[in-house]
Chain A
Amino acid sequence: MTARVVSTGPLALVQDLGRPGAAALGLGPGGALDRAALVAANALVANPASSAGLEIVFGGFALEFNEPAVFAVTGAVGEVLIDGVPRPQRTAHSVAAGTRLTIAAASAGLRYYLAIAGGIEAPTLLGSRSRDILAAMGPEPLQAGQLLSFGSDHQESARPEVFRDPPRPDRRLSLRVTPGPRRDWFVDGAWSQLLSQEWAISADSNRIGARLLGRPLEFSRSGQLPSEGMVTGALQVPPSGLPTIFLADHPVTGGYPVIAVVRKADIDLLGQAQPGQTLRFLAS
């Protein structure tokens, strides 16, 4: 079964839960930035959690189904229209051939997840259909006019869906952090500065990392750290003193010191943070 992409918006990618374990080949974990939102979208249409869906940045996306389909939209909050009529998110919609789905600009959150019953079909690389933007691997970014195939994944019995509201752009986001391996590379006051000041997400952010704007952190040493393995959620601090929080497509290794690491459970929130979103770190 197929659907035709009418418009993509800024960026629409095929994503599943990624390819952990490929670091030896130089590939990061990849996968949906808001994993819980993709899992929930898949659950709504009775797909396995590992099925591929679409990660749609900000909106401006439209798709026309060539066959009957069942789909659900989760993640960012905005207007979802079926043949021009606003319809709710977080529920499965069953539509006829010829139906047009439109996803408008997000009012909260940044990434929508669209799951179609049976999953998006695409070739796998190391067991995953995820597009990795750093490695430039996996299915190419969607293009207007292209045909998407879906529907061959085995259907599952219903599972409970868990929804989490995306952060509101006008409210400060809180992220829990633990000390990173290189906290001793920073001056004594850097840790409390990290926790006490308000940071903002830079417009330079992407699937590799969320860049932060704020008052720079100060180093206590001038030497360089040999490149070392990086985890998703690491706050890596280049000499500018402004941290980048590594997200799913992060490099496997990096050479700037990591002052703190965001708790695994809070990383999905970063995938939904719009440019300009303010945030605070909480020690946990």
Chain B
Amino acid sequence: MNALPKTPGALEPIGATGSGRANAATLLPCGDSGILAELETLDQVLALFRALSEPPAGVLDVVPAARTILVTFDPERLELTAVQNWLRSAEPVEAALADGPLVPIEVSYTGPDLAEVAQYLNLTVEQVVELHTSSEWTAAFTGFAPGFAYLVTSHEKLRVPRRNTPRTSIPAGSVALGGEFSAIYPTSSPAGWQLIGHTAAVLWDASKSEAAGSPALITPGARVRFRAV
């Protein structure tokens, strides 16, 4: 499978053409037990993700992200072509981002990358903090680590690149910017994003049973407001 492209470096999307396509996704190879479906916008991702709520047996996980949905499967139970056909035939389901609960987060804006972020954006540190606290953020999807939510807002004034070399360990509660997102690291972990502050909020509480709500403080659809302390 996955014959090499003739031109080195060129990418041959799998199933980019062909009949039975019901959505705009381009399917990219991702090993012998994964397929990455790529879309143009986050809205398209969320619409296709809603259509994938009943995967065939053998699908292990469906992971939405900013422009992609990763499907992992057990190649001993399900063939690659069956997963491709399932993805191609899914009809996107349009819906608004859920108007979820408001989660206030208190932040001490003392992150090691705050000055560099301000410099990159041609802003003062105060202006970065003002923008971060005055914007309403929405959790588009989760991932990276338990309780880690990718927060989006209506403007791109705080869009910054990730760090060139990821830090191998950062403290839990670090508030960060990366690409079009803001986020809070729930646990100490490696991190490639720019750290602008710190919160004492508990993002993940495993002692909360699955029946008594989510162990995650911020779930998809929730709205987040940051406040400087």
Contacts and interface: CB of A to CB of B under 8 A. Distances in A.
Are A and B subunits of one complex?
yes
The 8 closest A-B pairs by CB, nearest first: A229-B70, A261-B31, A226-B66, A229-B63, A181-B28, A253-B143, A184-B11, A231-B34
Contact of A228 (B70, B161, B165, B181): B70
Interface string A238-271: 1110000000000111111010011110000000
Contacts of A258: 30
B143 A252 contact: yes
A224 interface: yes
Contacts of A262: 31
Contacts of A178: 1-2, 29, 31-32
Interface string B3-28: 01101111100000000000000001
B144 A25 contact: no
B171 interface: no
A158 interface: no
A227 B70 contact: no
Interface in A1-33: 20-27, 29
Interface of A: 20-27, 29, 125, 134-137, 178-184, 186-192, 204, 208, 220, 224, 226-231, 233-234, 238-240, 251-256, 258, 261-264, 283
B75 A264 contact: yes
Contacts of B38: 181
Contacts of B66: 226-228
Contact of B180 (A179, A208, A226): A226
B8 A137 contact: no
Given A226-B66, A227-B150, A228-B70, A263 B31 contact: yes
B101 interface: no
B36 interface: yes
Main secondary structure of the interface of B (DSSP, over half): loop
A252 B181 CA distance: 16
B179 A188 contact: no
B53 to A, nearest CB: 11
B146 A135 contact: yes
Given A187-B9, A224-B179, A231-B72, 20 more contacts: A24-B62, A25-B146, A25-B147, A25-B215, A134-B187, A178-B31, A178-B32, A179-B11, A180-B30, A181-B29, A181-B38, A184-B9, A184-B10, A227-B66, A228-B67, A231-B34, A234-B30, A240-B165, A261-B29, A283-B4
A192 to B, nearest CB: 6
A224 B161 contact: yes
A179 B216 contact: no
16 contacts: A21-B60, A24-B61, A24-B62, A25-B146, A134-B190, A137-B206, A189-B9, A224-B179, A227-B179, A228-B36, A229-B36, A231-B33, A238-B192, A239-B165, A252-B144, A264-B32
Contacts of B148: 26
Interface of B: 1-2, 4-5, 7-11, 28-34, 36, 38, 60-70, 72, 75, 142-148, 150, 161-162, 164-166, 168, 178-181, 186-190, 192, 204, 206, 214-216
A183 to B, nearest CB: 6
Contacts of B161: 224
Nearest to B13: A181
Contact of A227 (B28, B143, B165): B143
A226 B142 contact: no
Contacts of B144: 26, 227, 251-254
Contact of A23 (B61, B162, B166, B168): B61
A267 to B, nearest CB: 10
Most chain A C-beta atoms within 10 Å of own C-beta, residue among B145, B162, B186, B204:
B145
Nearest to A180: B30
A227 B34 CA distance: 16
A204 B168 contact: yes
B43 to A, nearest CB: 14
Nearest to B27: A181
Given A21-B61, A227-B150, A255-B162, A183 B9 contact: yes
A229 B148 CA distance: 14
Given A134-B145, A238-B166, A226 B65 contact: yes
Nearest to A211: B168
A229 B179 contact: no
A201 to B, nearest CB: 16
